[in-house]
Amino acid sequence: MIELTHIEKRFGDNLVLKDISVEMAEGSVTALVGPSGGGKSTLLRCINLLETPTSGKIHLGDEEIEFAPGRKIGWQQIQRLRRQTGMVFQNFQLFPHQTAIGNVMEGLVTVLRWPADRARARAMELLEKVGMAHKADAWPATLSGGQQQRVAIARALAPSPRVLLCDEPTSALDPELAEEVVEVLSRLAREGTTMIMATHDLRLASRVADKVIFLDGGLVVESGPPGKIFSKPERERTKKFIASLSATHVSDYEI
């Protein structure tokens, strides 16, 4: 269970998340959608404390952290929560001086102190899962964007996190390469991987997510199953957002 209670986030005088309270069940996939600047990525980054909420509470697994203005959160507490999450970034962020398998092994060896043989076996298992075992010894610069993102997903999964966080995992890719990543994430969802993703790609959200949360202006405007949110939204703001999509894009969504 992941529970966010009354989460607020300020950058100076700018309140970017406003009293967010949501729950995500174990084994579920939640998509955060909405216009740019609506708070999707900030909320995602607050979950693993890449951004520290100004106030509110995060409950993730066995960890619970309460935030308040001026309250300092200890580094060990941050690390305990963060180690339950794996993060997939928009721009991959692979280590350029490491091969694909080296990227997946790195956290296991340097952070978790696994022996190299065990880390290599785990890395190969995950590269196989994302369809990249044949590129285990390739350097990131020689891989396509879709291939780099699949390696990044394997790296995020390496320590067996409780939840996989994906920040716009397909937005840097052209449609053909994005489809490779959508297929990998779909397979992980079918296997019961808990995921939360911030995305502009409603095809990804409709194919993979069990629940969609529409954010605008730092507020949860509406939430529900993808079919309901994309086909029969209740809120006027949600309707306007969906209507702003081109007819071509909407026809691609499996709603």
pLDDT, tens only, 101-150: 999 999 999 999 999 999 999 999 999 999 999 999 999 999 999 999 99
Q: What angle do CA 95, 100, 102 make, to 5 degrees?
A: 70
- In the chain, what percentage of residues exceed pLDDT 90? 75
**pLDDT recorded at residue 94:** 93
With a cut of 70, say whether residue 250 has pLDDT above it.
no
The CATH 3.40.50.300 domain(s) of the chain lie at 1-84+163-255
- Mean pLDDT score, 158-165: 94
Report pLDDT for 251: 41
Map residue 253 onto helix, strand or coil: coil
pLDDT reported for residue 245: 63
Alpha helices in the chain (DSSP H): 40-47, 75-82, 100-110, 116-129, 145-157, 175-190, 202-208, 226-231, 236-243, 247-252
CA distance 75 to 218: 27
Tell me the CATH architecture of domain 1-84+163-255.
Answer: 3-Layer(aba) Sandwich (3.40)
pTM: 0.90
